Amino acid sequence: MSQDDDELGPVSEEERREANALRKALEAGDPAPGSDAAFAAAVRASMVGARPELAAEARTAVVADAIREGSRRARRRSLRTMLAIAAAVVLGLAVPAALYQGGSSTPSITYGGPTDAVFEGPFVDAQRASERMDLIVDARTEDYFAALRGEQP
């Protein structure tokens, strides 16, 4: 078995030409994007020992920049979290306080009037569910604002 033979059989002239073209493209250093040479260069670059080593000063500078940026992002993230918590606390305290202040002047809402008319009988079979919901919402809204104005149904 010769050096060019492998388990798939002898190497053809076309395969030799393509291999030489690939070798020349890799030796040229800047293969065309999407070519076999670019793929081979990417595979070669991904190998563990193929990466160029950075100088110690450059490596230290890169690590320091990464740490500085990470701590800056962490501060921003914690500031946003604290602001969100503060807003939730203020809102959580404001809602009960507002409800307590308006305790006696809040109208008691009793449904009647248009709402009762909606539920007195069955819905029309030809109505879609969305039409029924619109009818209920309109009636409830009318009842609510009538109660706010002090009107009785």
- Are residues 113 and 149 in contact, defined by beta-carbon separation less than 8 angstroms? no
| Residue 132 vs residue 98, higher pLDDT | 132
pLDDT at 3: 53
Taken in order 88, 92, 95, 97, the sign of the CA dihedral is: negative
| Residue 76 vs residue 104, higher pLDDT | 76
The proportion of the chain whose per-residue pLDDT surpasses 70, expressed as a percent, equals 75
Whether the predicted pLDDT of 88 surpasses 50: yes
Provide mean pLDDT across the span 42-46: 77
pLDDT at 98: 67
pLDDT at 51: 58
Provide mean pLDDT across the span 8-31: 83
- Are residues 62 and 54 in contact, defined by beta-carbon separation less than 8 angstroms? yes
pLDDT at 1: 44
pLDDT at 41: 80
Q: Cα–chain-centroid distance for residue 123?
A: 43
| Residue 138 vs residue 118, higher pLDDT | 138
